[in-house]
Structure 1
Amino acid sequence: MRRTAIQLAVVFLLVTGASARAQQDPFARGFDAVPLKATPAQKSGIALEGASPEYTDSFRAALLFDYNHGVLALRLGDEKLGNLLPYRLDAHALFAWQLHRRLEIAADVPFTLVQGDGFQLLRDALNAPDFPGAAGVSRWGFGDVRLQPRFFLLLPEDFPVGLALTTEVRLPTGDGQSFLGERGVLVAPRLAVERAFGPVRLLGNLGLRLRPRPAQYLNLYVGNEVTFGAGAIVDLPDVGRLTDVQALLEMHLATPASAPFNFRQADSLKTPWEVLGGVRARVYGPWGVELDVGRGVTLGSGYGREDVRVLFSVRYEAPFIDSDGDGVPDSQDKCPNEPEDKDGFQDDDGCPEPDNDGDGISDGQDLCPNVAGDAAHGGCLDSDNDGVHDGLDQCPTKPGPKMYDGCPDSDGDEVPDNVDKCPDESGPPENDGCPIDNPPFVVIESDRIRIKGNILFETGSATIQKQSLKLLDEVATVLDRNPALGPVLIEGHTDDIGSDTLNLNLSQRRAQSVMDYLVSKGIASSRLRAKGFGELKPIATNTTALGRAKNRRVEFRLIKAEVETAPRIVPQKSEAGGKTDSGAK
C-alpha cells in the first residue's frame, strides 16, 4: 500500500512539474544542486560581492573546500523520504587580480571530490530499477568554471556608498546529469552596494541568474532567478598571531523570475533562502584562513536549502602595499622605506641611486646623470670641444656656440642647423630659416612697419651684417616715399642668454645702429627714435635655439609725435566782412 502511494505521489510530482512548464522534460536535470557559490573576489564577503577595490596589481588565490549535507531532498507531502544527494564536498581554486583601480578579474575552477548517491532510495520506493530519471549520479567530477569580472562604478572614498557591477559567467564544464553543472552558459550579473560605518562594512547585492536552457527534475523547475543578498563584515582585534581578524554574517535569497515569492506552485518553483556566518584571519605573512558555516532557512532540506554547510579555505593575499609610495610594492622593493628616484636607471629595485653614472657627482647636480663626466662640465662630456657639454649640446659631434645649443649655423642666419629647414640658405627664424621669396619685404601696417626677415648683427656687437643692408635699404625707401609716416620707434630685442644689463645695453646699441644707418640713407633723424628692451619682451620661448632666434629681432613701431602742434585758432569775421587776425605777426 505504501509503495502504491509513493508511485502515485511521484506521478503527482511529474504532473505538477509538467503543469508548471508543459514543454519541459521532467528528467532533463542540468542544474547545479549547490547554486550559491563562494565569491573569488577580493575585499568581499563569503558569497557576497563588495564594492571596495584593492590596490592595482593586488592578487588573491584560495583553495576552498565546500561541504554540503542534505543537498537534494525527496519528499512525499510533508514526509521526507530521504536525500537524493545526501552530501557533497567540492574543492574550489579561486583567483582574483586587480587589473585596474576600477576593474578586477576573478575566476573559480571547481571540482567535486565526493558526492553521495541516494537515487537507490527512489528506485526502491518505486520498485522500478529502470524508472526514467532514477539513474544515479557521478561520485566526483568537474563543476562549472566561473569567470567573474567586477567593475567599480563608485569608489567608497569618493562617494557616500561604493557601487560595483559583477558579471559572473558560468561555463557548462560540469556534468549536468549529476547535478554538477548547468545545461548551458549561465550569466549572473549582480549589483553590489557597500557602506562603511567605522569597523563595520554593510554589503548588499541584487542580481539575476539567467539560464538560456532551463532545467527540471521531477517537479523541481529551475529557470531564471532573481537573487538578493545582504550582510556585514566586522573588523575585530588581533588574537595572538591572528591578524586582520574579521567576522562575517550574510543571508542569500533566490526566487524564480517568472513567479517571484510564489506559494501556489511552491512545490515546483522554489525560493531558496540561506544564511552563512564565519570568521577569517591572516596567520602568517600573506597567508590566511577562513571558516564559515551555514544552512538553509527552512524546516527541511532541499534545493538551495541544505541542512548544514561548512566552508574552509586557505587564502594567499598579496595586496599592493607600497610603504614609500614609489610605485614598487614592498614585496619587491629592496628599499621599502626609501622611495625610488624614477630617473630611468634601475627603477625596478625600489632603491634610489644618488649617482647613476658613478662619476662622483650626485644626480641632482649632474647634468648628465647617466653618462660619466667631470665637474668642469657639470658631470657631462664635451665630445666636440665647443664649450657646450653633451647634456645640453643638440649637436654633440659638431662644434657650435652655446646660443645655438652647441650646433653650427652653416648659412649664418642665426637659425642653427638642427632646427633650420634650409641650412644652406639664409632665411628668417619666423620662416624656420628658409628664405622668403614673395615681395614686398617691407609692409606698412596700422601700428608698425613689418619686415619679412630679420636684421642680423655680428655676434655680441651692434655691427649690422652686410646681408641685412638690402632689407634696411628697402625700409629707407618706404620711409622716403611716405614722408608723413612716423615718428618710427626702432626697437631692439635680445634673447635671455647673458645678463639683463648686458642684453639691455646691446639691444639699445643695435637699435641705435639701425637708426644711424637709416639716417645715412637720407631719413631725417627727427622721424626716428631708438630704444632697446633687452630680453623683456620675448615673442617665443627662450628654451630652444629657434625660439631664441625669433626673440633676437629689430622692430619698427609707429608712434605719436612727442611734441603736439599748437591748437588751431579759427579766425573771426569783422563787421566789414573781412577777417581779423587772431595772433601777432
Structure 2
Amino acid sequence: MRRVVCVGTSLVLALVAPAGAQVAGDEFGIERFRLSIDRAGVLDVESAAVPQHASWSAGVFLGFAHDPLVIYDNAMNPVDALVDRRLTTGLVGSIGLWNRLQVGAGVDLVGYQHGSDASPTMRALPKAGLGDARVVVKLLLAQTSAIRIALVPTLTVPVGSARGYLRENGVTFAPALAISGARDRIRAAANLGYRLKPRVAVAGLVSDDEAFASTGVGVRLGAAATPIAELMWSASFAVPVRDASANQTAVEMMLGATRAVTSGITVFAAGGVGLHNGFGTPDWRALAGVRIEAAPEQRARAVPMIVVAPKPVAPADTDQDGVLDAVDRCRDLAEDKDGVEDEDGCPDAPAKLAGRIVDGEGRPITGARVTLAFGGTTVEVAANEDGRFSTEYAGGVATVTVGAPEYQPNTVETTVAPGMAGEVEVVLLRAVRQGQLRGQVRSFAGKPLAATVTVMGAAAAEKERASERWRAGTTAQTDADGNFTLDLPQGTFDVTIESPGHAVQRRKITVKLEAVTVLNIDLRATSGSAR
C-alpha cells in the first residue's frame, strides 16, 4: 500500500495557484531511516549496550526509497508525487568512553531524488544535497546479566540546502529511552522517545513535534560462539503530538541480514515496506552497507623509540584454559576441551540444574523462591506446584538459596560441569510461630518477689518434626519488679512458680499464636518467713 500525505483540496489548489500566491514551505526532512551507531543495534533501533572504553565503530550504507512523499486529494485520489525516488547515503561513527558512555555522530547525503516539478513551493526539486548532521549520546543507566537500560538523546543540525525536503528547518532534539537484552542466539532492543522539531506547514501537511517508538529482534544462525549470519527485524512508528491525523502517522517494518566478513568487518542488507500513512514512509525501501569495529587491543600501536628494550609480557589467559585472550571468545569461561571447536575458548553448552524443594516429611513446597548464585551472577526462579525448578547457567560451583513463607531458609552448594545436567534437593524446616506469657510475682503484702517460673508440657501444634517441637522445662527469672516474660508456641502448659520462703504455686495456662497470656501470682509466705 502506498504511503501518502493526504493534504486535501487546499493542496490541489496550491498546485495550480498563480505565481503571486503564498509559497508553501518545503524546509523539512523526510528521511526517517537512521542507521544505529554501532553493531549492537538492530537496523535503525539503538541498543542500550555500551562498548568498552576506546572501542570505536564506523559504518556506511546506500539506500533507495520509493514514493516517500506523495500527495492525495480528499477523495484519496493521487495528485502527484513530490518525491517519488530517492537515493541516500548515510555515514555513522561512534566511540565508547569509560565503559558507561558512548558518543556517536552521523550525516545523510541525498545522492539523487526525483519528483514533481509542480511543487506547492513553486520551486524545482533539488536533485541532490546534504541532509542533517546528528550527534548521539548513549548513557548506560542500569544493567543486569539479562537486560540493559540507557538514555539516548539525539541532536540534529541542518547542514545542507533548506529546500527540497532534504533536511529540517532548524535544530531538533530527540531524547529516548533504550532497553535491550540477549539470550542464547536471540537479542532484542526497543526505543521510546519524543522528537522536538521546528514547525513547518506545506498546504494541509504539518511537520511538527512527534512521539516515536521502535523495536528490533536479531536471531543468530549457526553455532552460538561463531554464528555464520544474523537475521534482523525491526518496526518503527512516529505519531504527531499536535495536529494529529492518520495521514501523518508513519509506520514502517524492515527485514534484513548481516554477516561477519572478518572479526571487525560486517556487511548487511535490508528491505522494508510502509504500513501506514505518513510523510517520509515509502511504499518500500532497500539498503545495503558495511560496518567496521575495533576494540583497543585490535588497534595498531606505535613502537616506542627507547634505548632499553621493554620486558616481555606474558600473553593474557584470564580463564586459564590455554586459549589466549586475544582469540578467546569467552574470556571468563574455560574451554571444555572436548574436541569440538576447542579453539574458540567457549564451552559448547551451558550447565543445566534441576531441583526439588520439600519439607521435612518429603512433601513438595509450592512457590518456593530459589536463588542461584555463580561467578558473581544471580538468577532467581520459582518452584512449581510439585516443588520443582530448573534453570541454566555457565557451569561450575553454584550456591542455591531457597526460602518460602513459614519455613526456615536453607542454602546448599552444588557443582555442574558446563554442558552437563545436575539435580539437587533442598529441605526446608517449618518455622515455629509463637505466642507470649507474661506476668508479675508478688507477696501477699504486694511486694515484688524474686521467683523462678517453670513451664512444663508439650505444645498442641507445630509438631510436624521432632526437631521443631517445643522443649519442656523452659524457665524465666523475675526482674526487680517481679515481672517475667516467656515466648511459647501455641498450646496448654503447666506453670510452677517458686520463691524462697514462700509456698509453691502451680497453674495451668493456654497460649495462642501471636497473642499475650497474662499470669499474675501472689505467693503466701511460709511459717517464720518475712511477709
Name structure 1 gaps, 5 residues minimum.
Answer: 1-5, 16-24, 123-131, 321-328, 335-343, 353-585
Given the alignment of the two structures, is residue 35 of structure 1 paired with residue 32 of structure 2, yes or no?
yes
Contact persistence 1:108–1:146 (CA under 8 A):
yes
Residue 254 of structure 2, aligned match among 263, 273, 276: 276
Question: Cα gap change, 1:244/1:119 in structure 2, threshold over 3 Å: closer, same or farther?
Answer: same
Please give the per-residue CA displacement for 1:478-527, whole angstroms capped at 9, x wherever unaligned: xxxxxxxxxxxxxxxxxxxxxxxxxxxxxxxxxxxxxxxxxxxxxxxxxx
Cα offset, 1:330, TM superposition: 4.7
Please give the per-residue CA displacement for 1:534-566, whole angstroms capped at 9, x wherever unaligned: xxxxxxxxxxxxxxxxxxxxxxxxxxxxxxxxx
Question: Cα gap change, 1:153/1:10 in structure 2, threshold over 3 Å: closer, same or farther?
Answer: same
Structure 1 range deviating more: 35-44 or 310-319: 35-44
Decide which structure has greater strand share. Answer: 2
Question: Cα gap change, 1:285/1:84 in structure 2, threshold over 3 Å: closer, same or farther?
Answer: same
Please give the per-residue CA displacement for 1:109-131, whole angstroms capped at 9, x wherever unaligned: 221111113234x5xxxxxxxxx
Contact persistence 1:42–1:96 (CA under 8 A):
no
Cα offset, 1:216, TM superposition: 1.8
**Alignment partner, residue 50 of structure 2:** 53
Please give the per-residue CA displacement for 1:106-161, whole angstroms capped at 9, x wherever unaligned: 111221111113234x5xxxxxxxxx61312211111111111111111243xx52
Structure label with greater radius of gyration: 1
Cα offset, 1:84, TM superposition: 1.1
Partner SS state of residue 178, structure 1:
coil
Given the alignment of the two structures, is residue 319 of structure 1 paired with residue 316 of structure 2, yes or no?
no
Question: Cα gap change, 1:13/1:214 in structure 2, threshold over 3 Å: closer, same or farther?
Answer: farther
Contact persistence 1:274–1:304 (CA under 8 A):
no
Q: Partners of 1:238 and 1:291 in 2: how far apart?
A: 21
Residue 88 of structure 1, aligned match among 80, 86, 92: 86
Q: Partners of 1:303 and 1:246 in 2: how far apart?
A: 30
1:415-494 superposed matches below 5 A: none
Question: Cα gap change, 1:230/1:330 in structure 2, threshold over 3 Å: closer, same or farther?
Answer: closer
**Alignment partner, residue 209 of structure 1:** 195
Q: Which runs of 4+ in 1 moved over 6 A?
A: 12-15
**Alignment partner, residue 269 of structure 2:** 291
1:554-565 superposed matches below 5 A: none
Partner SS state of residue 28, structure 2:
coil
What is the TM-score normalised by the length of structure 1?
0.47
Please give the per-residue CA displacement for 1:200-229, whole angstroms capped at 9, x wherever unaligned: 112111001101x21122211011000011
Equivalent residues, number = 298
**Alignment partner, residue 266 of structure 1:** 246
Question: Cα gap change, 1:330/1:315 in structure 2, threshold over 3 Å: closer, same or farther?
Answer: closer
Partner SS state of residue 92, structure 1:
strand
Contact persistence 2:7–2:204 (CA under 8 A):
no
Cα offset, 1:279, TM superposition: 0.5
Cα offset, 1:346, TM superposition: 3.8
Q: Partners of 1:289 and 1:279 in 2: how far apart?
A: 9
Cα offset, 1:244, TM superposition: 5.3
Code of the residue aligned with 2:239 in structure 1: it is T
Q: Partners of 1:313 and 1:294 in 2: how far apart?
A: 15
Between the aligned residues of both structures, percent identity stands at: 23
Partner SS state of residue 314, structure 1:
strand
Contact persistence 1:13–1:219 (CA under 8 A):
no
Contact persistence 1:62–1:94 (CA under 8 A):
yes
Code of the residue aligned with 1:80 in structure 2: it is P
Question: Cα gap change, 1:26/1:217 in structure 2, threshold over 3 Å: closer, same or farther?
Answer: farther
Question: Cα gap change, 1:156/1:96 in structure 2, threshold over 3 Å: closer, same or farther?
Answer: farther
Please give the per-residue CA displacement for 1:407-441, whole angstroms capped at 9, x wherever unaligned: xxxxxxxxxxxxxxxxxxxxxxxxxxxxxxxxxxx
**Alignment partner, residue 111 of structure 2:** 113
Contact persistence 1:172–1:183 (CA under 8 A):
yes
Q: Partners of 1:46 and 1:135 in 2: how far apart?
A: 34
Partner SS state of residue 31, structure 1:
coil
1:62-461 superposed matches below 5 A: 62-76=59-73, 77-120=75-118, 133-157=121-145, 160-211=146-197, 213-237=198-222, 245-258=229-242, 262=244, 265-267=245-247, 270-298=248-276, 302-320=278-296, 329-332=297-300, 346=310
Cα offset, 1:36, TM superposition: 3.4
Please give the per-residue CA displacement for 1:360-405, whole angstroms capped at 9, x wherever unaligned: xxxxxxxxxxxxxxxxxxxxxxxxxxxxxxxxxxxxxxxxxxxxxx
Decide which structure has greater helix share. Answer: 1
Contact persistence 2:37–2:46 (CA under 8 A):
no
Partner SS state of residue 132, structure 2:
coil
Q: Partners of 1:284 and 1:8 in 2: how far apart?
A: 52
Contact persistence 2:39–2:291 (CA under 8 A):
no
Contact persistence 1:70–1:302 (CA under 8 A):
no
Code of the residue aligned with 1:177 in structure 2: it is R
Contact persistence 1:14–1:219 (CA under 8 A):
no
Cα offset, 1:178, TM superposition: 1.2
**Alignment partner, residue 10 of structure 2:** 10
Q: Partners of 1:170 and 1:7 in 2: how far apart?
A: 27
Partner SS state of residue 9, structure 2:
helix
Please give the per-residue CA displacement for 1:48-67, whole angstroms capped at 9, x wherever unaligned: 01112222221111111121
Contact persistence 2:12–2:79 (CA under 8 A):
no
Higher RCO, 1 or 2 (CA under 8 Å, sep at least 6)? 2
Q: Partners of 1:163 and 1:33 in 2: how far apart?
A: 29
